Structure 1
């Protein structure tokens, strides 16, 4: 949940132990922990470009998400995990939209879920229904409001150029110092911000 990194073998050992502890019981906390570990293992596989590991990890995420939802249907992270697995295996479609809709319905403003959800949802921003578009933008604004600006810049960088313009527009009401810090962090990642709400500070080149 905090985004900390662990070695894959250790995570496999942890998830095996936690799964055994959960057994056939409906324990939302344990089921959530299993899913979070499986999500991290899947993320590690994607980051490493390990296609074989992805093929193994994706079904594990789907199974863990379904077990969590069967135990506690209001778990937003479970629906989000199904959305991610669906888009990775079968692509973006009505089922993926339904999973994402459920995730927002149960946790519209839960920060730790939003930190997972915003980058996934914003990648599909142009294909989303209007209500989901607004909810994805709300995720981004909440992250900025929480002053998670380094994360906000990473999310911004991963979005399409047209979506980036929309995200910058939603930051127009932010205090000037917040926009300046966002611009600086973006510059540190080699990004150039060009938007009316982000004027170039005096003495600097555009």
Structure 2
């Protein structure tokens, strides 16, 4: 009897290990295909965030692949994020076409829904908050209520250079409607863009949505790197614009 008692624990242990092994194998079989299929989604996200342009057919094919993945048993956060960003790109491509207005509007509605779903999973996504503002702007035009999405993007990612290049244009486009704190953040972000020596992008912003606010933007460039300020001055001068930038020699001669 004592021998039997001594043997039973070992038998139970072996059974338990076998059960756990089977469960582990089952879980691996379920999850590994999803994680592998999520890799293209993450790659696609990176390329969209880098502002790479895709053919509509490629976007549709990738969306179909991701939607097939999302029906699997286990969800992966990058999948819902990729769906939202791909739908936004599709909406941008179709809404400007007279023959695809309805399709573009449908894609924009779906993009907004997927963004909100993704943000419910991961609210600390500064890029997606900015994109949510963008799609709301595309769908309904400017609405001051939606500035809260931009504000949330700045709260989560205030100093992200890769994001600033796209976000700063959006923010300066509604500059008169911002509160004082958000204005200061937008102005500081422009200075950071200059400081990082994105002179071509900064000049484009300044000549576009930032032109009406140049008197507020330019003085804050005193905090930016001097070489970067000089590069911005030369970039603007090459386009025929000579603006007074802090501590940069100003040439009043119109022929240079």
Matched, 1:194 2:247: no
Pick which of 12-21 and 124-133 moved more: 12-21
Q: Is the 8 A contact 2:244 2:250 kept in 1?
A: no
Partner of 1:75: 125
Matched, 1:96 2:135: no
1:1-206 to structure 2, matched below 5 A, reads 1-23=49-71, 26-45=75-94, 49-50=96-97, 52=101, 54-188=104-238, 190=239, 192-195=241-244, 197=246, 198-201=248-251, 205=255
Q: May I ask how many residue pairs the two structures share in their alignment?
A: 203
Q: Aligned equivalents of 1:140 and 1:160: distance in 2? A: 9
Q: Aligned equivalents of 2:182 and 2:166: distance in 1? A: 16
Greater CA radius of gyration, 1 or 2?
A: 2
Q: Aligned equivalents of 1:98 and 1:157: distance in 2? A: 26
Pick which of 51-60 and 11-20 moved more: 51-60
| Cα distance change of structure 1 residues 14 and 140 upon mapping to structure 2, 3 Å threshold | same
TM-score (norm 1): 0.82
* 1:123 positional shift: 0.4
Q: Aligned equivalents of 1:195 and 1:96: distance in 2? A: 34
Pick which of 147-156 and 19-28 moved more: 19-28
> Hey, which of these two has a bigger chunk of helix by percent?
2
Mind listing any 5+ residue stretches in structure 1 that lack a counterpart? none
Mind listing any 5+ residue stretches in structure 2 that lack a counterpart? 1-48
SS in 2 for 1:171: helix
State the structure with bigger RCO (CA 8 A, min sep 6), 1 or 2.
1
Q: Is the 8 A contact 1:126 1:163 kept in 2?
A: no
SS in 1 for 2:132: helix
